[in-house]
Structure 1
Amino acid sequence: MTDSFTLDPRLQRDCRVVAELPLSTVLLMNDTHYPWCILVPRRADIRELYQLSEADYGQLQLESRTLGRALMDAFQGDKLNVAALGNVVAQLHIHHIVRYTEDPAWPDPVWGKYPAKPYTDDEADKLVERIRQALQLTSQ
């Protein structure tokens, strides 16, 4: 049920909502270094993938694939990093990060490499719209 679902405060602070999929909320990480979205299943008190029901697990996999395809279509990256860490934010969330061989952290993981460089409101609005359009194209 989604009745008691609340988005973790850190995700609220660090991200902007892009879209609502059947199971998950798509967030844009506020960091201009990388096109970086986070998929958060709207289920209360879930920390790990194995805690999802079979139906929710299957839906999350579908949404992750859809988001990954949309991001790579929209941003033409060299690699897509997909990860569920949860070391800082325990709430289950899946990072989808478009990587380029010339990005600042390549080939290392992005975590802790550089402080986030926030988008301007205008930049974030344009990026959210670009991702929304890509999601519509790939979800048909």
Structure 2
Amino acid sequence: MLKGQKRGFELDKVLHADSMPVMWLGLCELRVMDDCRWPWLLLVPQRPGVEEMHELTPLDQTMLTFESTMVAQALKQVTGCTKINIGALGNMVRQLHVHVIARSEGDPNWPGPVWGHGVRRPYRREDIHQFAEAVRQAM
């Protein structure tokens, strides 16, 4: 079991393959999506079997809101973006996870959604680590 991971929790294989860990928060693991087209973070609540926000306890719902806000503020500080998009879709990956994405005018598919637009462009290793460190420092 990884440090900070809750007993019985297992990260979805797709989330594991498409993202990299940044840090542990109180409820969630913060991860960066490996797509350099957008500064894109994920919050993954460490609760086994949870697919929807309403399945969380009221305290966990509050924590998720608090952590989402903290991450959004840090991402805005790091990127200077125009807009922060926050969403929990779960159509492809059922495990509850929240996307926090920095958007700016002129970025790929602005002002449209990031989902389904083009082909993912992985970061260079040093760039993803540098971005993750900037987010950690802003948190």
Give the shorter-chain TM-score range.
over 0.9
Give the residue type in structure 1 aligned to 2:11. Answer: L
**Distance in 1 (alpha carbons) for counterparts of 2:108 and 2:7:** 40
Q: Which runs of 4+ in 1 moved over 3 A?
A: none
Deviations 1:73-127 (A, max 9, x none): 1101001110000000000000000001110110100001111100111111111
**Distance in 1 (alpha carbons) for counterparts of 2:23 and 2:55:** 24
For residues 116-131 of structure 1, the aligned pairs below 5 Å read: 116-131=120-135
Match of 1:7 in 2: 11
Name which of 93, 99, 107 aligns with 2:97: 93
**Distance in 2 (alpha carbons) for counterparts of 1:41 and 1:67:** 14
5+ residue gaps, structure 2, are none
Match of 2:50 in 1: 46
Name which of 81, 94, 112 aligns with 1:108: 112
5+ residue gaps, structure 1, are 136-140
Identity level (%): 38
2:38 paired with 1:34: yes
If the length of structure 1 is used for normalisation, what is the TM-score?
0.95
How many pairs does the alignment contain? Answer: 135
Give the residue type in structure 2 aligned to 1:44. Answer: P
Give, in angstroms, the shift of residue 2 of structure 1: 2.2
If the length of structure 2 is used for normalisation, what is the TM-score?
0.95
Q: Secondary structure at the match of 1:91?
A: coil
